[in-house]
Amino acid sequence: MNPANDHHFLLGGQRSGKSRRAEGLAAAWLATPGREAVLIATAFAGDAEMADRIAIHRRDRAERVPGLGTVEEPRDLAGALRAHSQAHRLVVVDCLTLWLTNLLMPLHGPAVDSAGLPALFDDVAAALASAPGPVVLVSNEIGLGLSPLTREARRFVDELGRLHQLVAAACGEVTLMVAGLPVAVKRKSGNP
| Cβ neighbours, 10 Å, residue 167 | 22
Are residues 136 and 151 in contact, defined by beta-carbon separation less than 8 angstroms? no
Total Cβ atoms within 10 A of residue 23:
21
Three-state DSSP class for residue 177? strand
H or E element that contains 51: helix 48-64
> Of the candidates 29, 119, 38, 22, which has an alpha carbon nearest to the alpha carbon of residue 76?
119
Please confirm, yes or no, whether 57 is among the known catalytic residues: yes
Distance CA 34, CA 70 (A): 18
**Among 7, 8, 57, 84, the one annotated catalytic:** 57
CB 124 within 8 A of CB 77: yes
- The CA distance from 65 to 37, in Å, is 10
Residues with a known catalytic role: 57
